[in-house]
Amino acid sequence: MKIQTSRFGILDVSDDTLLVFPSGLVGFPAFRRYVVLDPPENADYQWFQSVDEPSLAFVIIDAHLLQPDFRTNLSEEGLAELEMTPTDSISIMAVVTIPSDQPDQATANLRAPLVVNGRTRQGKQLILHESIPLRYPLFQDPTQCQPHSEVATEAASV
């Protein structure tokens, strides 16, 4: 299928690359279909582009690149919504915010990760406990970096 985007022009995407978020995302409940786009250069981030709204795209990063032990405990409802089975792989991505005037102050939202079942391509945005960082700095001084090793548990979900 062909999709129109404001950043990348018209893209040809395969139906098997679509990610469906039945409940939408926080602030964007009407937009439920997305594709993940790799940047042209070899980078740790990706673009999360809405199929339904050309101007809606987010920069995302694998949460495990920031916190190798980051994980969520999905509720039974969350597992059912993602159609999870014990053998399914799961991806956990964080939305990145990049201030236009200070890109070195970019942060990732670990409190509201995007969780995707690799087999069904169903996704869900979780809202985790407030002790999980809302603005986790992407660029940190390694001498002052303290890992956030708390296991995230789902407090509520969208």
**38-47: per-residue pLDDT in tens?**
988 888 999 9
Residue 1 has pLDDT above 80, yes or no: yes
> Is 60 exceeded by the pLDDT of residue 146?
no
pLDDT at 141: 60
Indicate the CATH number of 2-157 among 2.60.40.3620, 3.30.70.260, 3.30.365.10, 2.30.290.10: 2.30.290.10
- Please indicate, yes or no, whether the overall pTM of this predicted structure exceeds 0.95: no
Higher-pLDDT residue of 127 and 155 is 127
> So where are the chain's domains?
2-157
**Cβ–Cβ < 8 Å for 51, 13:** yes
Report pLDDT for 115. Answer: 96
The string of pLDDT tens digits covering residues 105-122 is 999 999 999 999 999 999
Task: Let me know if 50 is exposed, middle or buried by CB neighbors in 10 A (0-12, 13-18, 19+).
Answer: buried
What pLDDT score does 73 carry?
79
With a cut of 50, say whether residue 8 has pLDDT above it.
yes
Q: How far is CA 145 from the centre of its chain?
A: 23
How confident is the model over 76-97, as pLDDT tens digits? 888 888 999 989 999 999 999 9
Residue 141 or residue 3, greater confidence:
3
Helix (H/G/I), strand (E/B), else coil: 149: coil
The percent of the chain in helix, strand and coil, each rounded to the nearest 5, is 10, 40, 50
For the chain, give the percent of residues with pLDDT over 70.
Answer: 89
